[in-house]
Structure 1
Amino acid sequence: MAVSTSCLSWVPATASNWKLKLLPFNEPSTATSSFSSSSTINCSIERISRDEGIYNRRPLLLGVGALATSLLGASPLFAEEIPKNYRAFVDSTDGYSYYYPSDWREFDFRAHDSAFKDRYLQLQNVRVKFIPTEKKDIHEEGPLDEVVNFLVKHRYAAPNQKTTIYDMKERTIDGKIYYTFEYKLSSRAFSRTSFATIAIANGRYYTLVVGANDRRWRRYRDMLKVVADSFRVLDI
């Protein structure tokens, strides 16, 4: 069974209109919250308001026993598949998921659908956005090297920034195609290195970017790579 199927098969059909942040079973919650937590599962669910065109975030406390039964019944290995010190973010309404470091906190990043950042280093963060497209998969954008070079030089970089692309790769998981690449944007005053993963599904062009200040990149690169490689698009 491919990774994306085994990690995400727990999402119940009745949760199709919700966003879920699921914490590992063996790790207590460190996120601040106005509702009580459980030593077994702690999750927050956010309702999306389609009519208003924005997200109305309403943390709710579910019956933990019922939720645990649903998760374990659907995928007994789900908790083991979340890497240690990470949490899973699953948006079953907008059709994507990824892991993020367990000590990061959610924040609003302009024009993005979801975002998490380091508690103390705000420039060390992950964010996801999507735009409509009529294309069916990322191959329709072009070959890997052409797409990556165009994005980094003409979409991600400001006019005064120098671009460096270190690595790029293509993966196919459960029939979905992903381009993941590592790149650096630098200017006189500041440099930042990032991973990006892009994919097309559900009539949407998805982009995940996770990065850090260039001075901290060597130390945190492997941790951030887990985030970039974990990105999955779901059928909605």
Structure 2
Amino acid sequence: MAASITVMGSISAPWLSSRTRRSAVPPVSASTSARNENGSSSSYRHHSIAAPYLVTRRDVVASMLSSFVFSQLGSCEDTLAEPSVGFREYIDTFDGYTFLYPQNWIQVRGSGADIFFRDPFVLDENLSVELSSPSSSRYKSVEDLGTPQAAANKVLKQYLTEFMSTRLGVRRESNILSASSRIADDGRLYYQVEVNIKSYASNNELAVMPQDRKQRLEWDRRYLSVLGVENNQLYELRLQTPENVFLEEEKDLRDVMDSFRVVKAVN
């Protein structure tokens, strides 16, 4: 596959999530914070004033104005402490697709997918794009897959095949959560599929007593796929995220799904 052409530009859309709090700035220890807040160790001496001090109206107004200004500065600091992340746009004109992705996600090369990005903090959260072979596929429409439900069955089967494990005592539970179709603003038909897969495993499958072979939950993930057809190829945008993270970031992840478009490839 030829190298993808990437054009990345900032998109002024919020990326509101727990990862906003997990900014790229390294955490500061409590002791370091204390030194930074104290600053220099200047000492102050207090003197009593013998003469009476008259407070004028100008002094009162100035004091009130100063208090207001500093209170607003404090609010600004609170706001800047949690900046929004936003999106970047990825455009591949050679293979013919485009989508938005969180701008703090990093690209991983050699993953086997046409393109692959992942969250730098939540390693189980990622997105990728898969393409059918241009020489062996002759797709005309995503409806070649059948109904959205039929496409969802194929997507789930593919996921389970990829996650097949040879370990003893591993059990997978899967469920199709939704299968739908939509016509995007480009006039093309897309299928959207959501599945949940849970993995259970035992740390001691060879134990003699059944109570020693108890299985525990290894991971619980949401998989979201968007399917589209162009250039006689089937395109699939895949999003993977832990189920608990999905609950926090659902709106943002759906924005990524909705941004996926297939376009005419430039040869």
**TM-score, normalising length: structure 1:** 0.64
How far did 1:26 drift? 6.3
Secondary structure of 2:150's match? helix
How far did 1:18 drift? 6.1
- Of Structure 1 and Structure 2, the greater strand share is in 1
The aligned residue for residue 126 of structure 2 is: 125
Map Cα deviations across residues 7-39 of structure 1 (whole Å, 9 max, x no partner): xxxxxxxxxx96123221769xx99xxxxxxxx
Map Cα deviations across residues 37-81 of structure 1 (whole Å, 9 max, x no partner): xxxxxxxxxxxxxxxxxxxxxxxxxxxxxxxxxxxxxxxxxxxxx
Map Cα deviations across residues 74-126 of structure 1 (whole Å, 9 max, x no partner): xxxxxxxxx97111000001000000011111112522011111111121111
2: CA distance, partners of 1:181 / 1:196: 5
- Amino acid corresponding to residue 187 of structure 1 in structure 2: S
The aligned residue for residue 178 of structure 2 is: 167
Secondary structure of 2:91's match? strand
Q: Select 1:143's aligned residue among 137, 147, 157.
A: 147
Q: Select 2:219's aligned residue among 190, 195, 213.
A: 190
Q: Does 1:177 align with 2:189?
A: yes
How far did 1:161 drift? 2.0
- Higher relative CO (Cα under 8 Å, sequence separation at least 6) belongs to 2
2: CA distance, partners of 1:202 / 1:192: 32
The aligned residue for residue 204 of structure 2 is: none
The size of the alignment, in residue pairs, is 166
* Sequence identity (%): 22
Secondary structure of 2:111's match? coil
**TM-score, normalising length: structure 2:** 0.57
Looking at CA atoms only, which structure, 1 or 2, has the larger radius of gyration? 2
Matched-pair contact (CA < 8 Å) for 2:148–2:192: no
How far did 1:220 drift? 1.6
- Amino acid corresponding to residue 205 of structure 1 in structure 2: L
Please, what is the CA RMSD of the aligned residues?
2.5
Matched-pair contact (CA < 8 Å) for 2:4–2:95: no
Q: Which runs of 5+ in 1 are unaligned?
A: 1-16, 32-82
- Amino acid corresponding to residue 197 of structure 1 in structure 2: V
Q: Which runs of 5+ in 2 are unaligned?
A: 14-22, 25-83, 165-170, 201-217
Matched-pair contact (CA < 8 Å) for 1:109–1:127: no
Alignment of 1:45-124 (within 5 A): 85-108=86-109, 110-124=111-125
- Of Structure 1 and Structure 2, the greater helix share is in 2
Matched-pair contact (CA < 8 Å) for 2:85–2:104: no
- Amino acid corresponding to residue 217 of structure 1 in structure 2: F
